Structure 1
Amino acid sequence: MKDPYGLSKASIPISYAHLLLEIMVEKGFSASEILHQSKIPLTLFNQLDARITPIQWSRLAWVSLTLAQDLGLGYQYGLKLRLTAHGPMGYALMSSPSLRYAIELATQFFNMRLKDYKIDFYEETQRSIIEIKQTHPVISQHHEQAETLRRFFYECLMIGVVQTAQSLAEHDFSNVELQVDWPEPPYHEKFRHQLPRILFNQAKNQVCYPSSIIDLPTKMADQTAFQQALAQCEAEQIRFSEQIQDIILRVKTELLLVPQKGYPSLETVAQRLHMSSRTLRRHLNLTGVSYLALLDEIKYQEAKKLLFNSDMEIQEIALYLGYIQPANFARAFKKWSGMTPIQFREKKQKI
């Protein structure tokens, strides 16, 4: 199945999911039950640098919204969003010389935290504007669910942006204004006193600051700490965009068949890639795939080629691919293709 938006690739830091679970636990709900309903492994939450897929994040948000019966959950999330949830980027924001530096840094590195949204920053005569855009629509079979999730994600982000600025600089932020493209929801009145002014039914989703605010120094400005955090951001960006993204190709390159013996183990591949098996497994988890899934893909491709282009008997092909029992090969092939090897070969011969 095609995945044009990369929704099945792990790209969202686990820290964002931690915060949502924290809010739900404070409301009296069970974290383990929410994770179970969201189909997210509990083990991921014990890995500091783990990431979840956009599909898992959407499912977690929807389960939480449904259980809480509180559509103001996006406001609550944004109001509680801590700088430390942003990892190295959060520490760089804290030590930035000014709000302007912090905003420009966020626009540069935001895509490595939430690739499904884009931040633009520009200035007008008396206003400085942060505009947030989706890089693709929220995917759901139900229009109402998609709209609810879309609003939830935007609320988390936009309120979170304002909270970040307030925690960075000493200033009265009462003249900050949010513009959003959806109508005023029923729960807005409940949170009005905690929020900046919000204009509904606007053309774009923007956070608007008076220009005088943008060049305010931050409370924890520290040039040395800023440079160190910036270097960590750059390292994370390289690791995420290159090493993690390319790890699938690198593993596939090492999955070479030794006839009658089969394919190398995860431990062998990890050794060839000069890393531990634990590190390789973690890198693959970050892309949303497993070693076994990649191995099945390679085996399936090789099996199809042998069934279609050779005169080898089914039993010979099974042994060639490393299956001691031909029945195990037949079961595996049916799982991959929905057909037995014999049915596949007969169908190809009729074409």
Structure 2
Amino acid sequence: MSNKAAQWWELPVPAVFPQTYLRIAQERGIPAQIILEQARLPLDYARTPGDLTMAQMERLILAVWDVTGNNGLGLDVGWQLPPTAFGNFGYALLCSATMADAIQLCHRYWHLVAPGTALSLRSEGAWFVIEISIPSILEPRFHQLFLEVTFTSLCHGFQLLTGTSVNELDVWFDFAEPEYADRARQRLGTVRYGKANNRVRFPTHLLDTQLGMHNPMALKFAIEQCDRESALSHAQSNKLEAVVRERMVFSVNGYPGLETISRQLNMTSRTLRRRLEQEGTCFKTLLGDAKRRDAVRMLDDHDLEIQKVAGMLGYRDPANFTRAFRQWTGQSPSEYRRTRRSG
């Protein structure tokens, strides 16, 4: 196992996730002790819950699947995780002025609820797209449940915040269509399986939706608390490089710059640059890695023209994008697409 993979499996999972899985198992008639024993977790965990590592969470999820069966397990767990389930993070979303503000906060603090994954935002014509990338090292069942829980929670929260119906949502999954796909469509709207990436999209005009619980003072407090939680999680991280990589995600405004990430980490840009150098890397390298990651992901979506991908990634001249992509992969973007099609 690579060092990065080992680090990922040690990431903390907020306690709300294992608690919800155990609650769903109990609703299906399985006592928590049976699940905990099969997952090789302390039998008193249900009475004294706390964060688990990602490795422990995988064992717990697969134990619930093995004992209760799937039957839409991810849908049931995700539906019980509306914004109110996520403490200060969820409170900040609820108190936002508009849906656009809530989504930007979700992007800013995503690492608090889904560490080790990347959330990117972008507009595509009349659609606004929220895309999630997760490590390729996951066991297929864990991969599927992870995505189902995440998107069900997102879609449920979207409906609660905007008051709109599921008909406004279009969800993509990269795994095969399950037997309970009709249940997924009842809860999530249009759901497509076997796609190249994992995303939810909705009409762009809904970004202007005014949220009924907007409260500026409560929002300020919630953001302050999220910042404290974020600073604590960063302080506990062994390497700053991993933290910056986590923040280096694509949004409607492109990638965050050095000043933006420095401000988010409560340090000067000079300090951030110096500490990255001490770890043997630099901000430019991490930005290049992020662009390479997202270029490959976007090119797997054949609905996006190569010129559009280049522009979204900040390349005004498509020839510069082609040159960079060839340096990254040894192929031009069009050659990469042909190889993927023939494979």
The 1:179/1:190 distance shift into structure 2, 3 A limit, reads closer
What CA RMSD, in Å, does the superposition of the two structures yield over aligned residues?
Answer: 2.1
Q: Which residue of 2 aligns with 1:212?
A: 205
Distance 2:119 2:62 in 1: 24
Residue 203 (structure 1) shift: 1.8
Shift in alpha-carbon separation, 1:43–1:85, aligned structure 2, 3 A = farther
Question: 1:83 maps to what in 2?
Answer: 83
Other-structure match for 2:26: 25
Mapping of residues 74-153 of structure 1, within 5 Å: 74-134=74-134, 136-139=135-138, 146-153=139-146
For the Cα contact (< 8 Å) 1:16–1:85, is it kept in 2? Answer: no
- Check whether the contact 2:173–2:192 (CA below 8 A) recurs between aligned residues: yes
1:230 paired with 2:223, answer yes
Question: Any idea what the Cα deviations from partners look like across 1:57-106, whole Å, max 9, x if unmatched?
Answer: 11111000111112410111122212232221111111111111111111
* Distance in 1, Cα, partners of 2:47 & 2:229: 19
What is the total number of aligned residue pairs between the two structures? Answer: 238
Aligned 8 A contact 1:20 1:77 in 2: yes
Aligned position for 1:287:
none
The verdict on how the C-alpha distance between 1:47 and 1:219 changes in structure 2, with shifts beyond 3 A counting, is farther
In the TM superposition, what whole-angstrom CA distance separates every residue of 1:228-281 from its partner, at most 9, and x where no partner exists? 000000000001111x3369xxxxxxxxxxxxxxxxxxxxxxxxxxxxxxxxxx
Shift of residue 154, structure 1, vs aligned partner: 0.6
Q: Distance in 1 between matches of 2:137 and 2:180?
A: 22
Question: Could you tell me whether the CA contact under 8 Å between 2:11 and 2:116 is conserved in 1?
Answer: no
Corresponding residue number in structure 1 for 2:314: none
Alpha-carbon distance in structure 1 between the residues aligned to 2:59 and 2:162 = 35
Overall identity of the aligned pairs, in %? 24
1:189 matched to which residue of 2?
182
Alpha-carbon distance in 1 for matches of 2:125, 2:33: 50
Structure 2 residue runs without a partner (length 5+): 240-343
- Residues 99 and 211 of structure 2 are in contact (CA less than 8 Å); yes or no, is this contact kept in structure 1? yes
Letter in 2 for 1:91: Y
Q: Which consecutive aligned stretches of 4+ in structure 1 deviate over 4 angstroms post-superposition?
A: 42-48
Bigger radius of gyration among the two? 1
2:175 alignment partner AA:
W
Match of 1:176 in 2: 169
Deviations 1:98-122 (A, max 9, x none): 1111111111111122212111111
- TM-score normalised per structure 1: 0.63
Contact 1:179/1:199, CA 8 A, preserved across alignment: yes
Aligned partner of residue 110 in structure 2, secondary structure: helix
Q: CA deviation at 1:36?
A: 2.0
Q: Secondary structure at the match of 1:81?
A: coil
In the superposition, the TM-score normalised over structure 2's length comes to: 0.65
Give the secondary-structure state (helix, strand or coil) at the position aligned to 1:217: coil
Match of 1:221 in 2: 214
One-letter code aligned to 1:178: V
CA distance in 2, matches of 1:15, 1:227: 24
Deviations 1:275-324 (A, max 9, x none): xxxxxxxxxxxxxxxxxxxxxxxxxxxxxxxxxxxxxxxxxxxxxxxxxx
Residue 159 of structure 2: aligned partner: 166
- Residue 320 of structure 1 is matched in structure 2 by none
Instruction: Evaluate the alpha carbon distance shift between residue 81 and residue 8 of structure 1 in structure 2; reply closer, same or farther with a 3 A threshold.
Output: same
